[in-house]
Amino acid sequence: MKLGVVILAAGQGTRMRSRLPKVLHRLAGRPLLAHVLDTARAIGADRICVVYGHGGELVPQALAAYDCVWAEQAQQMGTGHAVMQAMPSLADVDRVLVLYGDVPLIGADTLRQLCAAAERADLGILTAVLKDPAGYGRILRDAAGEVLRIVEHKDAGEAELGIAEVNTGFLTADRARLNDWLLRIGADNAQREHYLTDVVGLAVADGARVATSRATSEEEVAGINDRVQLAALERYYQTRRAEELMRAGVTLLDPGRFDIRGRLAAGTDVTIDINVVIEGEVTLGDRVYIGPNCLLRDCRIGTGTEVYSNCFIEASSIGAGARIGPFARLRPEADLADSVHVGNFVEIKKSRVGVGSKVNHLSYVGDARIGSGVNVGAGTITCNYDGANKHLTVIDDGAFIGSNTSLVAPVEIGAGATIGAGSVISRAAPAEKLTLARGRQVTLEGWQRPKKRPKT
């Protein structure tokens, strides 16, 4: 049986007070719609159609990497009308499941349960019991507990508003029957819109069997209409992810001050201090320590490495037993071997640093290959850019670079070489020798510092 998924993502989201389409606002660093697309794939959808509208091509452009088809709802005439725009793209599927681009945390297991409940029915709907059901359509049942219809909040009477069970909007149905019901939906309601929920009443009138399944939590069916709701759902998401990591053995010194916006694979006895942000794909080996106020993005950090406070590590690889920071920045393609030390206010970009080498203070290393056992003194700079092209600096094993040295690439420092402090090195420095390049120190007799004229 082929499953087609419709994701409704055409709403304007006026309460967001933003020019950005609502479904492109981010939760855990990713567009709301991306979360829903991932869930649709997780449940095995054979085809996904996203209905977009507000914001024009911004939505399909932002999520062009996803394998789905796009249908435009040029005029927002209700959820029923929106689903109708997707139906031509789903002509070859057997069942249709409707999801929402602004309900990002719907669970794959919950959707599987809904689909299972509807296997022997013509229509399945997902319901929930909410503490505050305001704004949601209410589920009306007969004396036997069978679903009669859904009444929208704005159209509900006093008795109907007292019903706690609500419609979440998620439904699944036989494609052919759903198409027939959609064509028969009217707009006789307070909003003058074609409500998808009217499908339920039409199905009941036709004698179709309506099955229900209940969501396991309020948060997974919570829609986002404004930035307050977005922030609340963000914190719920982060709390849940933090709990998963702690149960897996990661120590979070304060789970309320930890954010993950990607995937984290962590070994045993990993400790993460406060205000750490994880983005992209991050791997931490056993006994890694991450200090406070660090951002890790798409990086691998080896066993026993310690990253001290206020470091930014991006698209980099660090070996075992290294010491990084505080206040260090590793930019893309920084490749650090075991036992490397990178200290405060050091920036490394597109460089390989060998085993046991040290770059401890106030230095910039870019486009370089540094061997093992090298000491790079404070204030050292690899001058890798000539205004048009990048050039390579090579520092061989055991070299010692004195403080405040400028290495003008392309240049090579031989194994065991020593570079005198304050040098500007623009030619190869031979192995095992002292090389320095300094201007001659001069003292001028009789020179006096200029003095300011007294004010009159």
pLDDT in tens, 123-143: 999 999 988 888 888 999 999
Statement: 3-221 belongs to CATH 3.90.1150.10: no
Sign of CA dihedral 99, 105, 111, 114: negative
Q: List active site positions.
A: 361
Helices (H), 255-336: none
User: β-pairing, 3-9 with 47-52?
Assistant: parallel
- pLDDT exceeds cutoff 90 at 40: yes
Instruction: Give the CA distances from residue 8 to residues 22, 34, 83, 227, in Å, rounded to whole numbers and listed in that order.
Output: 12, 13, 7, 20
For CATH 2.160.10.10, the residue range(s) in the chain are 243-435
CA 332 – CA 311 distance, rounded (Å) = 14
Mean pLDDT, the chain, integer? 94
Residues 405, 379 contacting (CB under 8 angstroms) = yes
DSSP per residue over 269-337, as a string? T-EE-TTEEEEEEEEE-TT-EE-TT-EEEEEEE-TT-EE-SS-EEES-EE-TT-EE-SS-EE-TT-EE-
Q: Quick one: what percent of the chain has pLDDT higher than 70?
A: 99
SS3 257: helix
pLDDT above 70 for 64: yes
Per-residue pLDDT tens digits for 384-420 = 999 999 999 999 999 999 999 999 999 999 999 999 9
pLDDT bracket for residue 170 (50, 70, 90): very high
* pLDDT above 80 for 320: yes
Phi, psi of 162 (to 5 degrees): -80, -5
Residues of the chain with CATH 3.90.550.10: 3-221
Longest dimension (CA), the chain: 109
User: DSSP secondary-structure letter at 294?
Assistant: -
Sole residue written with tokens 């020593």: 418
Q: Model confidence at 189, in pLDDT bands (50, 70, 90)? A: low
At residue 173, the pLDDT reads: 96
Give the pTM: 0.89
* 103, two tokens: 């309900």
The answer to whether the beta carbons of residues 430 and 412 sit under 8 Å apart is no
349 forms beta bridges with: 366
CATH number, span 243-435 = 2.160.10.10
pLDDT, tens digit, for every residue of 77-96? 899 999 999 999 999 999 99
CA end-to-end span of the chain: 96
Residue spans of alpha helices (H) in 197-257: 198-205, 227-247
Q: How many CB atoms lie within 10 A of CB 342?
A: 30
Cα–Cα distance, 383 to 390 (Å, whole number): 9
Q: Is 384 left (phi over 0), alpha (psi -120 to 50) or beta?
A: alpha
For CA atoms 207, 213, 218, 220, the dihedral sign is: negative
Mean pLDDT over residues 329-346, rounded?
98
